Amino acid sequence: MTVIPMNELKPDNVTRAARRLHGIVNKTPMLTSRTLNERIGAQLFLKAENFQRVGAFKFRGAYHAVSQLSPAARAAGVITHSSGNHAQGLALAASLLGVRATIVMPENAPPIKKAATAGYGAHIINCPAVDREKVCAAEIAAHGYTLIHPYDNADIIAGQGTAAYELLQSAAPLDYIFAPVGGGGLLSGTALAAAALYPACKVIGVEPAGADDACRSWRDGRIHRLEQVPPTAADGLRTRFVGERNLAVMTRYVADMITIQEDEIFSTLQFLWQRMKLLVEPSAAVALAPLLHGRFHPPSTARIGVILSGGNVDIPQLLNDYASYFTTE
């Protein structure tokens, strides 16, 4: 088995990744809601990746990437930098495949995600969020670890795309799929999955307005970098710049990008918690928010898929930090 080179990322890569991951990842449920359909004025299908192993889609890409490494690379051990979900995904994937994992985590990463990452057996190195790439590079130089980048990795992208691949197998034809975007792993994988199974489906990325680097990068065709870690409650989307591979795929296959405000994220989160009884994290609510808040107006005949990316949320901490965003309606 060989790692997919950057210039060979094609829709078929997701198809092959889906075969490799069959029986390893959870085939997560596809959920519908009459209330939601009536409110949006279209038919929605929610892919609930909060029910994936480690509670997020990230396990898909992490397992796929580690499973494709050479024996020498596996023996060297793997490393990444992540605020939480990729950290957990890589930690579990490495454990299942008998590979040592080191995770560089920002000091402000949610404690619940740090605890879960350690629980899967990974060694954690804490550092300031802006230094995580630098610390990771130093560890690689010192120990020879193999980097499994959170999103700018072709095998990661192909693996992440299997969530949309499953969704399309169950619900096609779909007119649109909405996915959140941070570094671009899920969005670019989703776009490749749609191109593989149903090219007529338009893939739309959604990003917090305070973390709109991917949106600006997609529109300009070049990578925009944020100077600071973006101030959004969607901690899984706090990346400062999109990946090169991701942007290349997004530029070719993504139909549109939308940004949303923090209050819209929380309103959507509250709807998913209270009305649909779905425990998801703010990053997952991002994908549904433009539909719920009228930032996108689909035709009444539209069939729309939404990727709910994960459910790793520290509820007491979230309520404490963002109490003003929750309503009592």
pLDDT recorded at residue 1? 43
What's the CATH number for 59-154? 3.40.50.1100
- Whole-number pLDDT of residue 329: 59
Tell me the pLDDT tens digit for each residue of 201-224: 999 999 999 999 999 999 999 999
pLDDT tens by residue, 274-291: 999 999 999 999 999 999
Indicate if the pLDDT at residue 33 is higher than 70.
Answer: yes
Peptide bond into 173 cis (omega under 30): yes
pLDDT over 90 (residue 321) = no
pLDDT of 3 > 60? The answer is no
The domain spans of the chain are 6-56+161-325, 59-154
Domain pair 6-56+161-325 / 59-154, same fold = yes
**Mean pLDDT, the chain, integer:** 94
What percent of the chain shows pLDDT beyond 90? 82
Catalytic residue annotation: 58, 309
Q: Which two tokens stand for residue 198?
A: 């149903």
pLDDT at residue 5 in the model: 53
What CATH class does 6-56+161-325 carry? alpha beta
Residue 48 has pLDDT above 70, yes or no: yes
**138: which residues sit within 8 A by CB, 6+ positions away?**
none
Q: pLDDT value at position 2?
A: 46
Average pLDDT for 235-257 = 94
pLDDT digit string (tens) for 77-105?
999 998 789 999 999 999 999 999 999 99
pLDDT for 98-149, tens place per residue?
Answer: 999 999 998 878 788 889 999 999 999 999 888 888 999 999 999 999 999 9
pLDDT at 4 over 60: no
